[in-house]
Amino acid sequence: MTLQDMDPRIVRYGELQPCRTAFIDAHTPGSDQKENFTIIGGGVSESTDQHVHIAQPIGFNIGAAGQPPKCRNSLHSHRTAEVFFVLKGRWRFFWGRWGTAGEVVLEEGDIFNIPTGIFRGFENIGDDYGMIMAILGGDDAGGGVIWAPQVIEDAQDHGLVLGENGKLYDSKKGQTLPDGIKPMKLLTEEELKAFPEPATRDVVPRHVARYNDLCALADRTPVLVIGEDGVLPDKPGFEVALATRGSSTTDTHRHDRPSVLMPVKGHWRVVWEGGQDTLAPGDTMLVPGDLEHTAYPSMTGDAALYHIVATDDPAGPTWRV
C-alpha cells in the first residue's frame, strides 16, 4: 500500500473540520462555543452540518470535542462505551442526574472509560482551548445520545428542538418539526430511576487511568489500558493500549481487522508494507486489517501513542464497579 493509498486514512489535527451545531445544547449559554469532530465512523451528531472525515465502519467510532475555557458539554448518557483521553488542556468530568454525584479532573494523556447508563458532562477548566479525543463503542455508537430532561428544556428556550427522529431543528433558522415528527420525549421520573448516581470513589478506581502511571507500566512493553485484563478492566467491543518510547519497536505486526493509531505525545514514524509517514499529537490514522506495520518515535523527547482495535465482544454496557 503506497503513501497515496494511505493518505485518505490519515486525519491531521490541523485539518479537523468542526461542527458547532452538533447537539441540542448548541445555543445554550455556557455550551454554545463547543466544537464537535467526527473522525472515523458515523458518530452521534444530531446535526446534518456534521462533517465525517472517514465514514468506514470499523466496530467503534473515533471523535473529539474542542472547547474554549469555561465551556461545558451538557449532561447526557450513552448505551455503549464512551472513552475520552485528554489531548490538550485540563478538564473536569462530572456525572449524575444533575451533575453532582461525582467528578474528576483529568490532565493531558489521562484516560476515562465512562460507565454507560449514567448522565455525564465535561468542561474545559484550563486557560486555553482544550481538546479531548473520544472512542465510542459500536458502529452506530449505541443509537445516539440520551439527554437529561433539563438539557432538552433549556435548549427549547434557546430555539433548538430535538425531534423523535434524533435530528435537530433550529427555530432561529426558521426550521420546524416535519409533519409526523414529534419532539423527543423527556425521560419520566420513573425512567430516570434507572440511571445510577455512583460516587467518585466508585468510579475513579476502575474507570480512570493517569497518563504518568500508564507510561510507567509501558516502560518495556505496551500496556493494555482497556480490555478484559486491562488496567481498566472492560470488554466494550474494543481494546485500548498505550505504547511509549521504551515499549515501541521497529518490528512489524498485523491485525485481522482495522486498528487506529492516535499519538498523545511526540512524533511517531509509522512504517507499513509499501510506505511510511509521521504522525503528530492529535493526528488519527486508520490502519487497514492484515497490513504489516509498526510505529516508533521519530524524534527525541516524551512520546506516547494510544492504539485501538476492535474485538469480537459486542458493544454494550461497560462493566460495573
Domain regions of the chain by residue span = 14-208, 210-310
Give the bridge partners for 10, in sequence order: 285
Query: Which helix (H) or strand (E) covers residue 205, if one does?
Result: helix 200-207
What pLDDT does residue 140 have?
85
pLDDT tens, position by position, 234-265: 999 999 999 999 999 999 999 999 999 999 99
**CA–CA separation, 314 and 321 (whole Å):** 19
Among residues 314, 290, 262, 310, which one has the least CA distance to residue 59? 310
Residue pair 81/202 in contact by the 8 Å Cβ criterion = no
What pLDDT does residue 48 have?
83
Assign 213 a pLDDT band (cuts: 50, 70, 90).
very high
| Residue 83 backbone dihedrals phi, psi, to 5 degrees | -115, 130
pLDDT tens, position by position, 68-86: 999 999 999 999 999 999 9
Neighbours of 282 (CB within 10 A): 18
267's grid cell: 512524533
More confident: 46 or 53: 53
pTM: 0.95
**Sole residue written with cell 462493566:** 319
What pLDDT does residue 65 have?
97
**CA–CA separation, 26 and 36 (whole Å):** 10
Give the whole-number percent of the chain exceeding pLDDT 70. 99
pLDDT tens, position by position, 158-196: 999 999 988 999 988 899 999 999 999 999 999 999 999
User: Is the pLDDT confidence value at 287 over 90?
Assistant: yes
Average pLDDT, integer, range 310-314: 93
Give the bridge partners for 94, in sequence order: 103, 121
Query: Cα torsion at 32, 37, 42, 44 (round to 10°)?
Result: -30
**CA–CA separation, 7 and 59 (whole Å):** 21
Residue 70 backbone class (left: φ over 0; alpha: ψ -120 to 50; beta: rest): left
Measure the CA angle with vertex 91, ends 140 and 318; round to 5°: 40
May I ask the CATH class of domain 14-208?
A: mainly beta
> Counting beta carbons within 10 angstroms of the beta carbon of residue 190, is it exposed (0 to 12), middle (13 to 18) or buried (19 or more)?
exposed
User: Is the pLDDT confidence value at 133 over 60?
Assistant: yes
Query: Cα torsion at 263, 309, 237, 304 (round to 10°)?
Result: -30
Assign 274 a pLDDT band (cuts: 50, 70, 90).
very high
User: Is the pLDDT confidence value at 214 over 60?
Assistant: yes
Fold that domain 210-310 belongs to in CATH:
Jelly Rolls (2.60.120)
> Quick check: do 14-208 and 210-310 share a fold?
yes
Average pLDDT, integer, range 114-120: 96
User: Is the pLDDT confidence value at 143 over 80?
Assistant: no
What pLDDT does residue 142 have?
63
Assign 321 a pLDDT band (cuts: 50, 70, 90).
low
Q: What one-letter code names the amino acid at 23? A: F
Residues 6+ apart with CB under 8 A from 221: 247
